[in-house]
Structure 1
Amino acid sequence: MERHVEGARRETAGVGAARAYELVRKELFGEFGADFFRSYIDPLRLVAEMDGVLLFRAGSQVAKERLTQQVQHRLEARLRAYEPRVSATQILLEHEIPDDVRALAHARIEEARPQPVAAPMQAQSFLFDTFCQDGSNQRAYAVAQMIASGDGEAFPVWLLHSAPGYGKTHLLTAIAREAAVRTPDRKVLMMTGQEYLEQFQSALHKKRDSSAFKEMVRAPDLLLIDDFHRICGKKATEEEAFDTIYELTRRGGQVVLAANHGAAGIEGLDDVLRARLKGAASCEILEPDAPLRRRILDMRLQHHARLTPGFSVASDALDMIAERVHGSGRDLDGALSQLLIEWKISGGIQVTLEAAANALQPQLSEAAERRITVQLVQKVVARSHNMSVQQLLERTRRHSIARPRQIAMFLACRMTHASLPDIGARFGGFDHTTVMYARDRVAALVDQDPAFRAEVETIARAIRREP
């Protein structure tokens, strides 16, 4: 098989250095993965061909070292498969390119922007078109689209935060991809906080000089760092991040950061950097409700079906998962992956509601064991309003107590299995009609006031996370 593939490649020999590199880039993407490719290979430019030697320009000293150690020998072998005249490659920095090469017009290769390299199926799903929206993430989605289109100059720094699995990586990847298409002149760099940390520390340890790293992260017009909280607690790295944000935005660039908490909640964050992020624009993605979870399931099912033709799940089974599997999109992905196993074991028969319930029984049982009680709702609501449970239960009409009590009754109705009379009794003997009034009043405010809705959703999220 390998000989057959090699023979097919030889038939295309002589395509030219530029075309060969374009083809090889796609192969390197699959071999090294999206993160490594984006950080090191994507910025690599073919600048000249002289007597079979191809000269490439790396974006930084750090990139040059990584490419020389890990990529160059694979790059040469793959290039020769498409263009046998290639005898060797050299990876240089801008100032290392010989002057005589610059002077020889016929040796110069036009620096056309490389064609976007398609990501694997998993990464291809991280597009704006595949991001399911509702009130929990609509603002974040809108801002992300503005940044991708180049219309977000009003917020040079944007902090996107949420619990893990709520779509931060999806939006950052969508921004990077859309920006490459809509504003091709912008230099875009996306990396994770862990990559930022490792590459900066590597630059320090090897040469006690971070100039090459600084050159790499400050060169883009748009810098996106996912899981930014991973750098926190590392003083030198945080100071470098602060300087990077300052320098990049000072010259008109933009920085997009994604973290598990807002600026005030990121643990270990330096006070200076925290103050900088508190002054930045920010959006929080909230926990998806049942209707949004259902739409996410539909989208993810389509993704799985493209990878595994014929895979299908009954609609009522998806309804059940959306209602009973709370949490993030990753929890829903886990449920669908389990059903994919069930589908394969059954010989390709559609997964029914009964089959789904059996396959997901441990996951559903765990959720049932953590059944939310009225007492738990009272505890979290009281804590969120800086009062004791005893204060929350006082029979008073003071707004500072009555409104939190109404919120607690509303959430008890929504999140527990208690009846209206039972809830009223647990709040100190209120009639069930009082509970109904509180439920309906808070529901109306949630629909009318986005800020109030966010407050209630934050409390509900805290209740679900309570051990």
Structure 2
Amino acid sequence: MKKPQEEVWSRCLTVIKDNVSHQSYKTWFEPIKPLSLKNDTLTIQVPSPFFYEWLEEHYITLLKKTIKRELGPAGSLEYSIIMEKNYNSKKPVSVKVPASNRNATRNPSISMPVDVGTRAIKNPFVIPGLKKVVVESQLNPNYSFENFVEGECNRLARSAGFAVAHKPGGTAFNPLLVYGGVGLGKTHLAHAIGIEIKNQQPEKTVLYVSSEKFTQQFIESVRNNTQNDFIHFYQMIDILIIDDVQFFAGKEKTQDVFFHIFNHLHQTGKQLVLTADKAPIEMQGIEQRLLSRFKWGLSADLQTPDLETRIAILQQKMYTEGIELPKEVVEYLAYSISTNIRELEGALISLIAQSSLNKKSVTLELAKQMIDKFVKNTAREVSIEYIQKVVCDYFNLPIELLKSKTRKREVVQARQIAMYFAKQMTKSSLASIGAHTGGKDHATVLHACKTVNNLMETDKRFRGYIEDLEKKISIQ
């Protein structure tokens, strides 16, 4: 049997539900708990001071009129606000505050509900034409799962992304953090997740935003004294996708507001998808409380694509653009550009442009000429694969042995040298370097780098190896 306060509040919710959007109702009214009913005063519990302020600014008129309709002219409202825990108390403290006498200032369409003057008519506060706010997703339709080429380099991230897209907020991958170097497909995968969700569940509110844009919006809200609006907007999102979260580094206020938005979304079963250039354990300038939350779900890395995947990427791009190239040209491009997908596709477009402008057929010779110029102009980064090949050739070892678990001294040393150069000469994360070297973890990579540095200081012959190899790798 319901308590008196629960019965009154249940009837109030019936009226409120017809005066606000479904999303607003779920966000701002479902979390409220009726605590007591004394002398025509209904006390409701709200989860935070911000929550209380938002109700007062946006819904106080509707709340007061609804309460008076149920309790009569003497009916009034009181809040019990849960405050954040402080250092001296183990449990959250609640503070009671009476409702203000003001009208809602931020929601005029709801501040003057229709009054038909009788309780016999159901839901007398219905407001015709009330619309839910439409949020533009900012998703790029060109980035979908259909044209995301899967390979060993991205299989985990792609599979996790697809699972999230079909059950947002309902998997263990929340947040899903996809990390990797420049041009490896992080942004493509992030957009693909959002697009798939919109295709499967069009009623969901999906938003893609870069960390820079998020920061700019927050700064603007501080300047205009509209931080509450900013926070509320992001708390209304069902699937929030933030690109390049590493750029939050050093921005304490931005991190603080994102922390609270993150908590709200996660606690209410919403989905977060994040991208970064490195794993959480390697991020600098990000607060520990945020980093720990990044680890709540799954961190999946995107590695440099292997030769077969690079060929498949070029074939997909050719299909999308409606062009055909000789097989040997495609293979040459894939072999020559091994750093990232963006550069690989850029080389393909440059080759097509040169062919069109010079009115020449695309041949292997033309591809070689273009690649020579392209590589010089882009000052491209060497790949982990290339470093491993040079090191193995230098020590006359098969590359499979380098990636094996053997502890033979000469193999271990070559493996450590390859990991050292990968850290020095690429932008790959420690986790990615380890994954390319037989599935080693980041701690093993760090140990390898320290070992190489120590040997360079104590062993002249070893230092000679390193100097010689550095020259060979640099003149690829």
Q: Shorter-chain TM-score: which interval?
A: 0.5 to 0.7
Percent sequence identity is 21
Match of 1:334, as an amino acid? Answer: G
In the other structure, the counterpart of 1:320 is: 332
Q: 5 Å matches for 1:360-399?
A: 360-364=371-375, 377=391, 399=407
In the other structure, the counterpart of 1:453 is: 438
Provide the C-alpha distance between the structure 2 equivalents of 1:106 and 1:336, rounded to a whole number of angstroms: 57
Provide the C-alpha distance between the structure 1 equivalents of 2:167 and 2:381, rounded to a whole number of angstroms: 48
In the other structure, the counterpart of 1:345 is: 357
In the other structure, the counterpart of 2:266 is: 249
SS at match of 1:288: coil
Deviation at 1:312, TM superposition (A): 3.5
Provide the C-alpha distance between the structure 1 equivalents of 2:138 and 2:205, rounded to a whole number of angstroms: 18
Please tell me whether the aligned partners of residues 176 and 297 of structure 2 are also in contact (alpha carbons under 8 angstroms).
yes
In the other structure, the counterpart of 1:301 is: 318
> For 1:116-151, what per-residue CA distance to the aligned partner results, in whole angstroms no more than 9, with x for missing partners?
9997xxx33311011111111101001101111016
Provide the C-alpha distance between the structure 2 equivalents of 1:242 and 1:107, rounded to a whole number of angstroms: 37
SS at match of 1:124: coil
Gap change, CA 1:285 and 1:100, over 3 Å in 2: same
| 1:136 and 2:144 are equivalent in the alignment | no
| 1:181 and 2:199 are equivalent in the alignment | yes
Q: 5 Å matches for 1:182-221?
A: 182-207=200-225, 209-221=226-238
Please tell me whether the aligned partners of residues 225 and 257 of structure 1 are also in contact (alpha carbons under 8 angstroms).
yes
Please tell me whether the aligned partners of residues 113 and 127 of structure 2 are also in contact (alpha carbons under 8 angstroms).
no
Please tell me whether the aligned partners of residues 165 and 330 of structure 1 are also in contact (alpha carbons under 8 angstroms).
yes
SS at match of 1:185: coil
In the other structure, the counterpart of 2:129 is: 108
Deviation at 1:304, TM superposition (A): 2.7
Please tell me whether the aligned partners of residues 113 and 126 of structure 2 are also in contact (alpha carbons under 8 angstroms).
no
SS at match of 2:280: coil
Gap change, CA 1:94 and 1:328, over 3 Å in 2: farther
Deviation at 1:322, TM superposition (A): 0.3
Q: 5 Å matches for 1:36-435?
A: 94-96=107-109, 99=113, 108=129, 123-150=140-167, 152-207=170-225, 209-305=226-322, 311-347=323-359, 350-364=361-375, 377=391, 399=407, 401=409, 404-405=412-413, 407=415
Match of 1:405, as an amino acid? Answer: Q
Match of 2:129, as an amino acid? Answer: R
Deviation at 1:254, TM superposition (A): 1.7
> For 1:190-223, what per-residue CA distance to the aligned partner results, in whole angstroms no more than 9, with x for missing partners?
211111111011101221x411111111111211
Provide the C-alpha distance between the structure 1 equivalents of 2:299 and 2:387, rounded to a whole number of angstroms: 33
Provide the C-alpha distance between the structure 1 equivalents of 2:179 and 2:138, rounded to a whole number of angstroms: 27
Gap change, CA 1:178 and 1:398, over 3 Å in 2: closer
In terms of fraction of residues, the more helix-rich structure is: 1
Provide the C-alpha distance between the structure 2 equivalents of 1:350 and 1:104, rounded to a whole number of angstroms: 72
Please tell me whether the aligned partners of residues 407 and 456 of structure 1 are also in contact (alpha carbons under 8 angstroms).
no
Deviation at 1:403, TM superposition (A): 5.5
Please tell me whether the aligned partners of residues 160 and 173 of structure 2 are also in contact (alpha carbons under 8 angstroms).
no
Gap change, CA 1:403 and 1:355, over 3 Å in 2: closer
> For 1:404-430, what per-residue CA distance to the aligned partner results, in whole angstroms no more than 9, with x for missing partners?
236369999xxxxxxxxxxxxxxxxxx
Structure 2: segments with no counterpart, 5+ residues = 1-22, 24-53, 55-104, 116-122, 396-404, 421-433, 450-468
Please tell me whether the aligned partners of residues 290 and 322 of structure 1 are also in contact (alpha carbons under 8 angstroms).
yes
Gap change, CA 1:273 and 1:290, over 3 Å in 2: same
Match of 1:222, as an amino acid? Answer: I
SS at match of 1:274: helix
Gap change, CA 1:227 and 1:156, over 3 Å in 2: same
Q: Max radius of gyration: which structure?
A: 2
Gap change, CA 1:400 and 1:358, over 3 Å in 2: closer
SS at match of 2:240: strand
Deviation at 1:233, TM superposition (A): 1.1
Provide the C-alpha distance between the structure 2 equivalents of 1:238 and 1:118, rounded to a whole number of angstroms: 22
RMSD: 4.3
Match of 2:345, as an amino acid? Answer: D
Match of 2:282, as an amino acid? Answer: G
Gap change, CA 1:456 and 1:352, over 3 Å in 2: farther
Deviation at 1:266, TM superposition (A): 1.8
SS at match of 2:176: strand
Provide the C-alpha distance between the structure 1 equivalents of 2:165 and 2:192, rounded to a whole number of angstroms: 8
In the other structure, the counterpart of 1:445 is: none
> For 1:424-465, what per-residue CA distance to the aligned partner results, in whole angstroms no more than 9, with x for missing partners?
xxxxxxxxxxxxxxxxxxxxxxxxx97963439997xx999x
Provide the C-alpha distance between the structure 1 equivalents of 2:306 and 2:406, rounded to a whole number of angstroms: 31
Q: How many residues align?
A: 311
In the other structure, the counterpart of 1:9 is: none
